[in-house]
Amino acid sequence: MDIFEFVVLSVCCLSIIYWIIRRQGMASVEGYSLAFLGMAMLTDNLNLLFDYFFRPRTLLLGTGEFNFRGYPTIVHIIALLVLMAGLFLGNPKPDPISRKFSKSELDFIAYTGVALAILGLTLAGFAIYLTGAYSGAAFFRDLDTFRGGGDPGPAGGFFYRGADIAVFGMALILPSVRNKARFIVILLGMFFVSFFLRANKGGLETPILWTALVLHTYNPSRFWSLAKSRIVLPCLFIALLGVGVKVQLLARDGEDLTSDKMTQNILGATGTRWGDEGVFRGFCQFINLLPKYHYLFKGYPEGINALTAWIPRAIDQNKKAQPTQGFGFMVHADAHTYPDETPAIGLVGSVYADDGFHTLAAYLLIVGFVLGLLRRYTAGRRSPIQWHISYLCFALFGGLSSEAGITDLIYTFILTFTAAGLAHLAVVGLCEYKLGSGSVPTHSVAGRGWRMV
């Protein structure tokens, strides 16, 4: 494959991704997922072209890198078209997720956010207690072990997501905040929780992105006023610094944090995700190697895992590990493999692994149809606000992950809708709504408001 063919395939795939995001909206489940896939593919392809023209010796396969991405890109194109067909069947004319809400509706959203923040911080506190991280010197490494299913583990993923729930809850408060000082305080609280209560590399990028999407959804005028201000670039710079510091805190080498080390941390962490040896190349490597190792996926393990991953190990004592555990040789550019690691094979890889195009078509049609129905009934114009909040939470939590694929779809659905439902019940229990229904259709609340009991 020559460069021209590579560029044509790349442009076609990226155009379909852009079309889906434009049609469905960035804050939709599929839009949020494909935005990350699109960024991974775009940065990979641009970096590959740059290396080819200016640093050809750095290419692992030389000019073969173009052919290496050819067939996987075709698979991605077909998968995206199938997903779009499923979404169309489920919801041919999706209502915009972003809209203008009244003051009383923004108050309801803010109260729900407060309840979610309290719930999330409580769960995060349990995670820290269960790990014993509060008493250890390796706080972040203990949390990272807990997140990965290590000791004490059966419910680790559940409690660990408490920080995400808290950050999302605080983001819901922001659309109703008009005082700049309070807005900054809440945003700093999001930064603190996301950075210090999560073991993910970085942590500051999540509050920035979620704040933007929540504001764009519930208070578009506030979003555009911030987007036009000079706050965007400083926030991105802070997010990059957060990546460098967090990588150092997670490291086990004990080296001092210098400017050179900070640069190395940032470039290393971002390169493994966005570079030409990052996640998109990993997806391509998996698809290219699958014919040789397809025997490892007999019995439709990805499909079965997607249906059963939500069951806690405390209930299913014999719960199997994820199908790709220890499969680093199929994903990583240097083929390194850790026995307990579960490398991400991507959205397309997760549906392609079981039986090629047969399961790709079946899984994505079903998933697209279900997501279309979910969008219609929870995020439509006549949907109660609490369902709209649940849908947005499900989307931002990566219900359809660009990396994990369909694996955590049911688990994330149960987690987000349960958390948002509990928050709604708490708000209804503490507040008396003048409509008296406990749900707030977006077309019938003009002139109404909330009063604390």
Q: Please check whether residue 441 is in contact with residue 101, taking contact to mean a CB–CB distance below 8 angstroms.
A: no
> In terms of pLDDT, which residue wins out, 259 or 379?
379
Question: DSSP 3-state assignment of 433?
Answer: strand
Q: What is the pLDDT of residue 445?
A: 39
Q: Is 53 helix (H, G, I), strand (E, B) or coil?
A: helix
Position 262 confidence tier, pLDDT thresholds 50, 70, 90: low
Per-residue pLDDT for 144 more than 80? Answer: no
Classify 160 as helix, strand or coil: helix
421, 144 contact by CB (below 8 A): no
Instruction: Report, as an integer, the average pLDDT of 188-208.
Output: 82
Mean of pLDDT values over 363-381: 94
Q: 451: which strand partners?
A: 432
How far apart CA 220 and CA 243 sit, in angstroms, is: 29
pLDDT score at 25:
92
Whether the predicted pLDDT of 205 surpasses 60: yes
- What pLDDT sits at residue 276? 73
Residue-level pLDDT at 88: 96
* 385-419 per-position pLDDT tens digit: 999 999 999 999 999 988 888 988 999 999 999 99
Write the CB contacts of 295 (distance below 8 Å, at least 6 apart in sequence).
none
- Stretch among 40-49, 414-423, 425-434, 438-447 having the lowest mean pLDDT: 438-447
Quickly state the pLDDT bin for 82 (edges 50, 70, 90). very high
pLDDT at 150: 47
Share of the chain above pLDDT 70, in %: 81
Q: How many CB atoms lie within 10 A of CB 207?
A: 26
> What distance in Å separates the CA atoms of residue 26 and residue 373, rounded to the nearest whole number?
18
Q: Which residue has the higher pLDDT, 444 or 440?
A: 440
Q: Which residues pair with 151 in a beta bridge?
A: none
pLDDT at position 452 is: 34
- The more confident residue out of 40 and 431 is 40
Which phi and psi (to 5°) does residue 333 adopt?
-60, -35
Beta bridge partners of 452: 431
> Confidence class of residue 206 from pLDDT cuts 50, 70 and 90?
confident
Q: Which residue shows structure tokens 């706080």? A: 139
Mean pLDDT of 129-137: 67
Note the pLDDT tens digit of each residue in 290-307. 999 999 999 899 999 888
Q: In this predicted structure, what is the pLDDT of residue 259?
A: 67
Residue 335 to residue 293: CA distance in whole angstroms: 14
* Packed helices 139-147 and 232-250: angle between N→C axes, nearest 10 degrees: 90
Mean pLDDT comparison of 22-26, 59-63, 122-126, highest-scoring range: 22-26
3-state class (DSSP) for residue 431: strand
- pLDDT confidence of 178, banded at 50, 70, 90? confident
Confidence of residue 100 (pLDDT cuts 50, 70, 90): confident
Give the end-to-end CA distance of the chain in Å, rounded to a whole number. 69
Mean pLDDT across the chain: 83
Interval 141-152 mean pLDDT: 60
Helix (H), strand (E) at residue 430: helix 409-430
Which has more confidence, 335 or 384? 384
> Do residues 403 and 272 touch, judged by C-beta distance below 8 A?
no
Spatial distance between the Cα atoms of 421 and 415, rounded to a whole number of angstroms: 10
Annotated domain spans of the chain:
3-94+293-365, 103-271+407-452
**What is the model's pLDDT at position 251?**
67
Paired tokens of 23 = 């049609």
Q: How far apart are CA 266 and CA 245, in angstroms?
A: 9
Question: What is the token pair recorded at 238?
Answer: 């802070």
pLDDT-based confidence at 450, cuts 50/70/90? Answer: very low
Res 200: pLDDT: 74
Taking a C-beta distance cutoff of 8 angstroms, is the pair 309, 414 a contact? no
Torsion 311-313-316-320 (CA) sign? positive
CA 13: distance to chain centroid?
Answer: 20
Q: What is the pLDDT of residue 264?
A: 67
Helix axes of 103-131 and 139-147: crossing angle, nearest 10 degrees: 100
CA dihedral 173, 175, 180, 182 (to 10 degrees): -10
Q: Higher-confidence residue: 77 or 231? A: 77
Q: Mark out the alpha helices in 177-312 (DSSP H runs).
A: 180-196, 205-218, 220-227, 232-250, 259-274, 279-293, 301-308
Mean of pLDDT values over 376-384: 89
Q: Nearest CA to 357 among 18, 81, 38?
A: 81
Tens of pLDDT, residues 266-292:
666 666 667 777 889 999 999 999 999
Mean pLDDT over 316-339 rounds to 81
Q: What percent of the chain has pLDDT over 90?
A: 42
Dihedral, 432, 433, 434, 435 alpha carbons, nearest 10 = -140
Among the residue ranges 35-44, 184-193, 201-210, the one predicted with the least confidence is 201-210
- pLDDT of 451 higher than 50: no
pLDDT at 237 over 80: no
